[in-house]
Amino acid sequence: MYVCLCHGVSDKKIKQLVLEEGIADMRSIRKCTALGSQCGKCVKQAKQILNETAAQLYKQAC
Ligand code: FES
């Protein structure tokens, strides 16, 4: 599913950045994908996906 329509960023891409690249903050997601840099409507949902994925990663590690 697309999270950021302006830049074509999907939930899958956000999860991939967290799980495979170790990115865990919105600033880095934005830097890699330009997510949120146009209308900004996607930022809240992207943050939620980022937090949920990071929490899954933390659970797996502990
Ligand atoms: S939907 Fe992401 S900047 Fe517009």
- The pTM of this model reads 0.91
Q: Domain range spanning residue 24?
A: 2-61
Does residue 62 carry a pLDDT above 90?
no
Number of domains in the chain: 1
Which residue in 21, 22, 14, 16 sits closest to 45, CA to CA? 14
Whole-number Å distance, alpha carbon 9 to ligand 1 midpoint, is 9
- CB 4 near ligand 1, within 6 Å: yes
- Provide the CATH number for the domain around residue 55: 1.10.10.1100
pLDDT at res. 30: 96
**60 band by pLDDT with thresholds 50, 70 and 90:** confident
pLDDT at res. 58: 82
d(CA 37, CA 59): 31
Question: pLDDT tens for residues 3-59?
Answer: 999 999 999 999 999 999 999 899 999 999 999 999 999 999 999 999 999 998 888
